[in-house]
Structure 1
Amino acid sequence: MTVAQPDVTVIIGAYEAMPYLVDCLASVEAQTVDRTRIEVIAVDDGSTDGTGEYLEEFAARAPMPVTVIRQANSGGPSGPRNVGLGRARGRYVFFLDADDRLGPEALQRMIAMADENGTDVVLGKVEGVNRSAPRSMWDKTLKRTDVFSSNIKFTLSAQKLFRRELIERHGMRFDESLWTGEDALFTMEAYLRANGVSVLADHTCYYLVGREDGKHVTRSGSYTLRFDSARALMTLLADLLPPGPKRDVLMVRPFLVTLLPQFGPKFLTDSEEIRRNKFELARPLMEAYWNEDVARRLKVDERLRLHLVAAERPDLLTDVVAFVKAKKEAPAVLEKKGRRLYLAYPHFRDRAADIPDAVYLADAREARAFPGYREAPLDAFLRGAARKVRRTLFPRPNPPRERAAAAKEPVHGLSQREGATDPGAPATT
C-alpha cells in the first residue's frame, strides 16, 4: 500500500533541550494540519539531559508519525538538520529549534500561503519570548515578493517553510564547516533560487524563546568565525549574482550584520594583535566587494567605519568607534542652501586624514531628521510620487490610528541564533 506524501516535514535538531523541548513538541502536537499530512523527524545530537529519551516517549504517543534519530554530538545545528533533510518526505520542510515553539495554526497557514501563491519559501511572523526577534520584515503580509524588493534579507535564520523540491533540485544542504551563519547561507540561497517568497505577517507563526542558560545562542567562539561567515555569504552572493545593483543591495547584509560589528565597541578593547588580524581578515573582503553602491546604502557612521577598514586606517577608526560608543551626536553641516547635509563625525575635512566628503554625506532619509535640511525639489517630487504609487498598488488595511501607533513603535532586531541584527528599515532598500 502506497503511503501518501506528507504536506510538511518538521525537522527538529535537539541538543540539551530540556525542559524547553516539552513546550516545543506540544506546539507541534497542537498544529491543525491533518495528522496524516505531517511528519516529524527529530535528531538528538548527543544530549545527556534526557532530551533523547523524551523524544522517544513523544514518538510513542504522538498522533502523527515521528522518527527519532540519536547520534553523537556533531558540534552544531547543521549536522542534525542535514540528517533530517535526508529522511524528509514532505512537500515542504520546516526547521524547528527544540527550545522554540510554533504558533497556533502556523503550519496550516504557511502551507496554504505557499500553495495559493506557488511560492517556494514562506516566512511566518516571529515573536521573541524573553529575547528580541527580527521585526522589520513584518510590516505587512506579502503573497509574493523577493529578496530584492523586501526586507527579508535581514532574517536569514532557518525557521521558515521551504518547498522540498527546491532544496533537492539544487542539492542544498547546511554547511557543516561553519560554526556560525550556516543558516544565513542556506536561507539566502533559497531566497535567490525560489520561485517567489511569501511573508505571513498578520499571524504569529513562531516563538523565539530566550533560555535562561543561554544555550540557544550561537556559540561565540573566536571572532575569526564571524569572518568565515561573512566570507561564505559574500562568496555565495558573488557566485549567484553578477556584479551590479542587485548584488550590492544584498552585500549590505554581510557588511552590516556580520563584518561591521567586528569594528564596533569591542575593537577598542582588542589587543593590537587582534586588531591587526581583523584588518588582515577584512582586507580581501573589502577589496572584492566594497564599493560606492554598497557604501551609499549605509548610514554615515556605518559607512565611515567600513571606509576606514577598507583604507586600513585603524588609528582613525578607534576615534570614530569611541565617538559612536559614547552615543554622541555628530554635528550637522548644511551646505548648498540647505540641500546638502554632512554629519561631521571625527576627522571630517581633516587634511591629514584625507577622507572624502562623500563618506560623511547623509542621504535624504537620514537628512530629513535635521532642521534646516531642504530636500531637492525633484527628489521630493519623486518621493511623493513613489508613495502615491505604493498606496494605490498596496493599500494598507489597518486604519490611521493603528498606523500611527505602529510608526511610533521602536524597531528591535537582534537574533542571536542567526547572529544578525535587524536594522529596521535602513537606507538599504
Structure 2
Amino acid sequence: MGTTATTNTPDVTVIIGAYEAMPYLVRCLESVEAQTLPAGRMEIVAVDDGSTDGTGEYLEEFAARTAIDMRVVRQENSGGPSGPRNVGLGLARGRYVFFLDADDYFGEEALERMVAMGDRAGTDVILGKVIGVNRGAPKSMWSRTEERVDVHRSKVIYTLSAQKLFRRDLLERIGLRFDERLETGEDALFTMEAYLRGAGVSVIADYTCYHLVGRDDGKHATKRGSYVLRFDAMEAMMALIHRLEPAGPKRDFLMVRPFTVGMLQQFTPGLLKQPEEEQRHKMELAAPLMRSYWTNGVARKIKVAERLRLACVARGRLDLLADVLEFLRAKKVPDLVSSDKGDKLFLAYPHFRDEEAGLRDADYQVTVPDWHGTDRVTRPKRILRSAPEQPSTPRRIVRRLRRELRGWRARLSTS
C-alpha cells in the first residue's frame, strides 16, 4: 500500500498491470512521477500479476517514497493483461483512467495535455501520439491534432490498444471491462466499444505522449497466442461492430479494420510455407466469419490485392488463394484492364475472367485508391481493353486440338 489517498477526486488514475516487468518498470514509474500534471491531481493503481523478478517489491518500494497517491495490489498470475487492468479499474477514483503498460513510458506533458483536451472537447477517449522504441507503432492517425474526430471516417480505428485516456464515467456507466476470456485482442475490443459508445474521440498529434517499448527479451504481451486465438479475437470484434453499428456504409468502414488488421494477416504469402494441415485449418476457422460478415460493401472499401485474397477465402478456395499468394510473393505487377465502356478499371491478378475459377470481375475492380506497380491506378499510362490471356486449362487445350483436327480434316477433303 502506498500513501493514503486524499478525499479529493484526482484527475487521472494511472493503471499499471505488471508482470515480470523489471527493469523496464523503473523508467515507466519515473515517467509518471515526472509528469507536469501535479502529483495531487493523479493517483497510481499498480497490480503485480504474480511476478517473480522483483516487480512486486519494486512497486511497493516506489509507493512508499512517491508523492503520488499509490495503491499496490499483488495477486497470483492471471494469465494475461485483462485481469490486472480490471482490478485496477475497480479501484480507480480518477475522472479519467490511463492504462500504462509497465514496459512503456510517458512524455512529460502527456497527462496534462490529454486531461486538458478531454475537458475542453468534452470527449470520452483521448489519444496521445505514440512512437515506437525498438519496435513499430501506428502512424496514420497522427496527421493532425483534432478535438473531435469522426470514428467512421478516421484512422483512429487502426489504433485500438488500451494506452489511451478514457473518461471513467463512461466506463462505469456502460459497465465496460476487458474481456478476460480472450487471450489476445482484448484491448482492441475494449477500445472499439469505447469509441462507439462514448461521447467522442480526440487526437493529440503535436506532442509525443507515449513511448511504446519493444522488450529486448521478446516477452512483450502482443507476441502471445496462436493463430486460433487470433481468430477468436476477430470473431469478437466483428460481432461487436455488428451489435453496435447498424448496417450501412458506417458499419462497412469499421469492418474493414478486422478484415485487414486481422483476417488478412493470416493469409499472407507466408501461408505458403506453413504445413498444408495448418493452411486448411485456417480456412476452416475463417469460413463462418466470412459467411457472417463479409459483404460487398466491405469488399469495395479494400484494395484489390487484399480483397482478392479475402474473396478466395470466402469461397473456400485454397488453390486459388495459393496462386494469388505466389503472384504476390514473386512481386509481379498485374495488367491493368479497362471495361468496354472505359468506366471501370481492373487489376488482372491470377484467374481474372477465368470462368472455371468462379471469381467475379468485382473482386478485381479498383474501387479505392490503389497502386499499379509504382504508379497510381487513377491515371494509368497503359490500359488493356480486354483481359490478358489466361493460362490454358486441360479443357481449353482439348477444344483447341479439336478445332485444329477439324481444320486438318477439311484441308484433306479438299486436296
Provide the TM-score with structure 1 as the length reference: 0.84
Deviation at 1:128, TM superposition (A): 0.6
Residue among 306, 320, 325 paired with 2:329 = 325
Aligned to 2:123: 119
Q: Which has the larger radius of gyration?
A: 2
Residue among 132, 135, 145 paired with 1:141 = 145
Conserved 8 A contact 1:8-1:93: yes
Deviates more, 1:210-219 or 1:66-75: 210-219
User: Does residue 1:94 correspond to 2:98, yes or no?
Assistant: yes
CA distance in 1, matches of 2:225, 2:196: 29
Residue among 369, 378, 384 paired with 2:376 = 369
Residue among 340, 343, 346 paired with 1:342 = 346
CA distance in 1, matches of 2:220, 2:274: 26
CA distance in 2, matches of 1:170, 1:326: 49
User: Does residue 1:250 correspond to 2:254, yes or no?
Assistant: yes
User: Does residue 1:48 correspond to 2:55, yes or no?
Assistant: no
Amino acid at match of 1:25: L
Residue among 287, 291, 294 paired with 2:298 = 294
CA distance in 2, matches of 1:128, 1:121: 21
CA spacing shift, 1:372–1:45, aligned 2, 3 Å:
closer
Deviation at 1:329, TM superposition (A): 1.9
Deviation at 1:276, TM superposition (A): 2.3
1:12-34 Cα shifts (integer Å, max 9, x gaps): 01111111111100100000112
1:190-235 Cα shifts (integer Å, max 9, x gaps): 0001111100010100000111111114244321101000000011
Residue among 349, 354, 357 paired with 1:353 = 357
Deviation at 1:239, TM superposition (A): 1.2
Deviation at 1:278, TM superposition (A): 1.4
Aligned to 2:400: none
1:373-425 Cα shifts (integer Å, max 9, x gaps): 39xxxxxxxxxxxxxxxxxxxxxxxxxxxxxxxxxxxxxxxxxxxxxxxxxxx
User: Does residue 1:225 correspond to 2:210, yes or no?
Assistant: no
Q: Which runs of 5+ in 1 are unaligned?
A: 375-429
CA distance in 1, matches of 2:273, 2:95: 50
CA distance in 2, matches of 1:337, 1:48: 69
Deviates more, 1:337-346 or 1:242-251: 337-346
CA distance in 1, matches of 2:71, 2:187: 23
Conserved 8 A contact 2:347-2:365: yes
Conserved 8 A contact 1:241-1:247: yes
User: Does residue 1:75 correspond to 2:82, yes or no?
Assistant: no
Counting only pairs closer than 5 Å after superposition, residues 204-283 of structure 1 correspond to structure 2 as 204-283=208-287
Deviation at 1:317, TM superposition (A): 0.5
CA spacing shift, 1:67–1:372, aligned 2, 3 Å:
closer
Residue among 302, 307, 310 paired with 1:306 = 310
Q: Which runs of 5+ in 2 are unaligned?
A: 382-415
Conserved 8 A contact 1:339-1:373: no
Q: Which has the higher contact order (CA 8 A, sep 6+)?
A: 1
CA distance in 1, matches of 2:368, 2:263: 25
Deviation at 1:236, TM superposition (A): 0.7
1:42-98 Cα shifts (integer Å, max 9, x gaps): 111111111111111110111111111111111100010000001000000000000
Deviates more, 1:300-309 or 1:257-266: 257-266
CA spacing shift, 1:104–1:338, aligned 2, 3 Å:
farther
CA distance in 1, matches of 2:8, 2:163: 25
Tell me how large the CA RMSD over aligned residues is: 1.7
Aligned to 1:284: 288
Residue among 27, 31, 41 paired with 2:35 = 31
Deviation at 1:364, TM superposition (A): 5.3
Provide the TM-score with structure 2 as the length reference: 0.87
CA distance in 2, matches of 1:338, 1:132: 41
CA distance in 2, matches of 1:254, 1:371: 27
Amino acid at match of 1:127: I
Conserved 8 A contact 2:160-2:191: yes
Deviation at 1:371, TM superposition (A): 8.0
Conserved 8 A contact 1:121-1:194: yes
Amino acid at match of 1:110: M
Deviation at 1:335, TM superposition (A): 4.1
